[in-house]
Amino acid sequence: MLEVAGKIRVIEGCRPDMLPLDELLAAGQPALLKGMVRDWELVQAGLKSTRSAMTYLRGHYNGKPVQYSYGGPQIAGRPFYNEDFTELNCEVRRGGLDQVLEEIAAHVDDAHPPTYYIASLLIDGSLPGLRVGNDLDFAAHGVQAPPSIWVGNRVTASCHYDEPNNIACCAVGHRRFTLFPPEQISNLYPGPLEPTPGGQAVSVIDFADPDFERYPRFREALAAGQSAVLEPGDAIFIPSMWWHHVQGLDAFTVLVNYWWNSMPAYMPAPMYALYHALWAIRDRPEREKQAWRDVFDYYVFGPGSRAGEHLPQAARNLLGPIDENLARQMRAMLIGKLNR
């Protein structure tokens, strides 16, 4: 197995009703929350047997069709790309959760099974009642973090980042997490922005067999990486924008995760700004790009109050704090300018 330099720090004694959110966010580092959800009903069912865990999930399923990825044995559990990165190596299907569970069960003893992967399925929409015995108390912190469930076999989610903060709970089976700080992006060789295996750009490196001749900077990423294997009942905190590579290590795996943003809902996703910058700035002459970098440093990446601090309060407008009303005005202005 690929070795990284660091180990994810471990926090003992966590409980679902005592989330250390303030501590986690203040540290800004990944953390393994050892045994935090060990008493969940789903975890206990999975510790009995794969069949018990599947039966438990069926008991909460409301019959709504779910979307899942399917790939033949040749993809070796890794939803990814074809050789020229123009298409995915798996297909998206729709069906019943009970059907997907039956197909996973039919191949549970196969050395090289097909890949089945239900990703980011909102629990409240398809498994109502599951949260009664399997939940974290985000409401006590005033945080909206509706849980999603991930169901599959030995699936590898290629290294990627997400904008929100994330607590992922290993409910059934074991998972290996390998994490890298945001500044390692160039050493992880991101693939296309579209299409993507899961909605987010992923590293093109095969962690099971890295080609260091083709991707030499990956060694630098490994020197900055952190890893941990989660047992059933463990959880992990992944800070916003940290890259993470996730491997399901057992023939049946279930994970429950909670994403939440540090900003109000009226603030748009920064990814839209990246697309716009690619369009508007990237291909300009180098001197112009440098000038725009200075402009962005002044208005965006420097102290939030700097650009407007020399102006009277009434004149700051977009240079002052952005509230929900100002956010609506900015959205309308941008839509109008982009539609010209």
Interval 16-64: pLDDT, tens: 998 999 999 999 999 999 999 999 999 999 999 999 999 999 999 999 9
74 has pLDDT over 80 = yes
Instruction: Decide if 143 contacts 167 (C-beta within 8 A).
Output: no
pLDDT, one tens digit per residue, over 246-260 is 999 999 999 999 999
Instruction: Decide if 163 contacts 261 (C-beta within 8 A).
Output: yes
Please state, as a whole number, how many other Cβ atoms lie within 10 Å of the Cβ of residue 153. Answer: 22
Q: What is the mean pLDDT of residues 279-292?
A: 97
Dihedral through CA 51, CA 45, CA 125, CA 249, nearest 10? Answer: -70
Q: What is the mean pLDDT of residues 69-89?
A: 96
Residue 1 pLDDT grade (very low, low, confident, very high; cuts 50, 70, 90): low
pLDDT, one tens digit per residue, over 99-134 is 999 999 999 999 999 999 999 999 999 999 999 999
Query: Which helix (H) or strand (E) element contains residue 126?
Result: helix 123-126
Distance CA(252)–CA(240), nearest Å, equals 28
Query: What's the distance, CA 255 to chain centroid?
Result: 12
Residue 79, in any domain of the structure:
yes
Strands (E), 3-63: 6-7, 9-11, 31-33
Instruction: Decide if 65 contacts 94 (C-beta within 8 A).
Output: yes
Residue 265, in any domain of the structure:
no
Instruction: Decide if 146 contacts 122 (C-beta within 8 A).
Output: yes
Distance CA(34)–CA(200), nearest Å, equals 28
Task: Give yes or no: residues 276 and 241 share one domain.
Answer: no
Give the predicted TM-score (pTM) of the model.
Answer: 0.96
Structural domain containing residue 169: 6-260
Closest listed residue to residue 17, CA positions, set 39, 42, 32: 39
Task: Give yes or no: residues 104 and 251 share one domain.
Answer: yes
Residue 104, in any domain of the structure:
yes
Please state, as a whole number, how many other Cβ atoms lie within 10 Å of the Cβ of residue 143. Answer: 16
* Dihedral sign (CA 300, 202, 218, 249): positive
* Dihedral sign (CA 207, 209, 215, 221): positive
pLDDT, one tens digit per residue, over 199-245 is 899 999 999 999 999 999 999 999 999 999 999 999 999 999 999 99
CB neighbour list of residue 139: distance below 8 Å, 6 or more residues apart: none
Task: Give yes or no: residues 77 and 108 share one domain.
Answer: yes
pLDDT, one tens digit per residue, over 167-208 is 999 999 999 999 999 999 999 999 999 999 988 999 999 999
Task: Give yes or no: residues 241 and 153 share one domain.
Answer: yes
Which CATH number do you get for residue 92?
2.60.120.10
Q: CA separation (Å) from 272 to 1, 302, 339?
A: 36, 20, 16
Task: Give yes or no: residues 73 and 165 share one domain.
Answer: yes
Up-side HSE of residue 193: CA atoms within 13 Å toward CB? 5
What does residue 110 show for φ and ψ, rounded to 5 degrees?
-70, 140
State the pairing for strand pair 253-260/243-248: unpaired
Q: What is the mean pLDDT of residues 139-145?
A: 92
Task: Give yes or no: residues 246 and 99 share one domain.
Answer: yes
2 has pLDDT over 90 = no
Distance CA(25)–CA(21), nearest Å, equals 6
Query: What's the distance, CA 169 to chain centroid?
Result: 13
Residue 1, in any domain of the structure:
no
Strand order in the sheet with 165-172: 9-11, 31-33, 235-238, 165-172, 253-260, 147-152, 115-122, 66-71, 91-95
Task: Give yes or no: residues 64 and 154 share one domain.
Answer: yes
Task: Give yes or no: residues 286 and 243 share one domain.
Answer: no
* CB burial string 271-310: b at 16+ within 10 A, e below: eeeeeeeeeeeeeeeeeeeeeeeeeeeeeeeeeeeebbee
Domain boundary among 260, 280, 295: 260
Could you give the number of structural domains in the chain? 2
Domain boundary among 227, 260, 293: 260
Task: Give yes or no: residues 163 and 310 share one domain.
Answer: no
Task: Give yes or no: residues 142 and 283 share one domain.
Answer: no
The three-point CA angle 229-157-206 to 5° equals 95
